[in-house]
Amino acid sequence: EKVHMLTDGKGNFTRMMGMLVKKDDKGFGLRSWRYSMYVVDGEIKKMFVEPNFKDDTPDDTFEVSDAGTMIDYLKESK
């Protein structure tokens, strides 16, 4: 009930966060880099950003932005 999944259809927020990357090599064009973010009252408290953040990286990992990592962090921070 307290989790809100948000979309960024035009990439405006992603661009302002500096997280917009070119994924032309994968046929996608501009995309958001993978990350998860814990925000309280508009303040970013924690971000988990996947490694190798750059345009057209062949390594498109999914290691730290998953739900499990965020849940573990929230459990530990309480």
Q: How far apart are CA 21 and CA 54, in angstroms?
A: 6
Instruction: Tell me the pLDDT of the chain (78 aa) as tens digits.
Output: 777 777 888 889 999 998 888 887 777 788 888 899 999 898 999 999 988 766 556 666 788 999 999 999 999 987
Strand partners, 22: 30
Query: If DSSP codes are grouped into helix, strand and coil, which group holds residue 2?
Result: coil
Are 2 and 14 spatial neighbours (Cβ–Cβ below 8 Å)?
A: no
What is the pTM for the complete model shown?
Answer: 0.76
